[in-house]
Structure 1
Amino acid sequence: MHPAPRPCNAIPEISVSRPWAQDAIRAADLLIDVREADEFAAGHLQGAVGMPRGVLEFRLAGNPAFERRDLRMVLYCKTSGRAALAARSLQSMGYMNVQSIAGGIEAWVQAGLPIVLPEQPSFD
């Protein structure tokens, strides 16, 4: 039995269960956390840039650093819903190499992979 064909505009997902997942993410030109600012501040992936889903297209369109449509982008959110919507939007803007992290940051944390946590003040 053959798997069902994926639509040509399906968003490739990076599974955190794969041994090469961290390498694929490090190889990206841009790692984007599309969660809200407070979610990003509570913990995010190393090297991620916080661009909430609601302003993503505006931030990318208004910045010359993101003009290249062949940029390798990896997106994530809490569970992967917002990242999938954002990735589809970026594809419609002409970005050709957009991926998302399957299961989002929740899957990442459940897999025991590292995140950047806010530093707590020291009262010593």
Structure 2
Amino acid sequence: MTATITRDELRTAIEAGEVTVVETLRDQHFAEGHLPGAIHIHFEEIGARAAELLPDKERPIVTYCSNTACRNSEIAANKLRSMGYVNVRKYAEGKQDWEEAGLPLEVPTAG
């Protein structure tokens, strides 16, 4: 079972720059808004893209998707652990919880 992180713990870690946050949804969902500073790796692409985008296997990583019903973050976290990443947790409540708490999402700017 993947270790989890609470919204408040994640917010603190993001603000301190202590974590790499990975959204595991499809491209269009990431483009519509993502957690501050998050990078995008669709859960099916973890094996192909993690080494390039997550070079430090010791750095804390948090995966997330849309909500508790979504399994993408769990699948991604398990794959990362199997690849030797040692500090991986998931934000099980996901983007829905973040938004419902009134916290901002980042939207990529064109240009």
Length-normalised TM-score, structure 1: 0.75
Bigger fraction of residues in helix:
2
2:45 matches 1:55: yes
Compared with structure 1, are the counterparts of its residues 13 and 22 closer, same or farther at alpha carbon in structure 2 (3 Å cutoff)? same
SS of equivalent to 2:44 = coil
- How many percent identity over aligned positions? 30
Q: Alignment partner for residue 12 of structure 1, among 3, 7, 17? A: 3
Q: Alignment partner for residue 24 of structure 1, among 13, 19, 26? A: 13
2:57 matches 1:83: no
Unaligned runs of 5+ in 1: 1-9
State the AA in 2 paired with 1:52: H
Higher radius of gyration, 1 or 2: 1
Equivalents in 2 of 1:55, 1:115: separation in Å? 23
**C-alpha deviation, 1:47, in angstroms:** 0.7
Unaligned runs of 5+ in 2: none
State the Cα RMSD in Å: 2.0
